[in-house]
Amino acid sequence: MDERVIQALIKWPQVPECRGWLAIDARGQWRMRNEYAQEHHLAGDIIHQRHLIEYIERNRCYDWATQEWFFQNGPQKVYLSISYTPFVARLFNQTLTSTCGNPLEPIECYMDEEGHIIFQCESLIQVAKAGDFLKEKHRFWAKLHDADLEEFSRIAEINTGCGLLGEVQLKNKKIAIEQTRMTDIKAQPGLLPSSRNS
């Protein structure tokens, strides 16, 4: 969390929260959704300014009480609209990172009915608990970026029979590829139950 954000929270602690205006799509692109986009259920305009994207990602946080992700924009909480998964993973040299380059530890791997690759990942994230911002390690879903599917297919062995779909060889770890459904992934947009300890 940026220091200026912390200072703004101290100075203006009662700023109303904001919902519907900021979204992350299935490709990991941040989008601004004005009133027209919200009313007409549109994706919104892609945010291209790199410094703004970095600011959002540095100050993204998980609300332990509401079980939602938000961006702390100065003194204001801006809750996120999530198209599919809360994070999008990039794959390079058999290693997973977030779109802003933070390391992601892959735990499980799934393929949904549309061929998307989704990892259950573990990483340090910011968590808001009882007025405090804490750095904690938790698990969550991260969809593999479409641009990295070719690299994934190079290091994966896919089976066409029943049961497991195959295996993928990541850095020092081989992970089974299992089947899932988009509805099951979307049903858990926050932290995964296995990691929600108090």
Q: How far is the C-alpha of 187 from the C-alpha of 162, rounded, in Å?
A: 25
Q: Does the pLDDT value for residue 163 go beyond 90?
A: no
User: E-strand spans in 35-116?
Assistant: 45-46, 60-63, 68-73, 76-82, 87-92, 95-98, 105-111
Residues 17 and 65 in one domain: yes
What integer pLDDT is reported at residue 7 of this predicted model?
83
pLDDT digits (tens, 9 = 90+) for 82-125: 999 999 999 999 999 998 889 999 999 999 999 999 999 999 99
Residues 141 and 176 in one domain: yes
Q: Is the pLDDT of residue 169 over 80?
A: yes
Q: What gap in Å lies between CA 35 and CA 32, rounded to an integer?
A: 10
Q: Which two tokens stand for residue 113?
A: 């009915």
15 and 51 assigned to the same domain: yes
Domain count, the chain: 2
For residues 75-81, give the mean pLDDT.
Answer: 93
In terms of Cβ atoms closer than 10 Å to its own Cβ (0-12, 13-18, 19+), residue 109 is buried
End-to-end CA, the chain: 21
pTM of the entire predicted model: 0.86
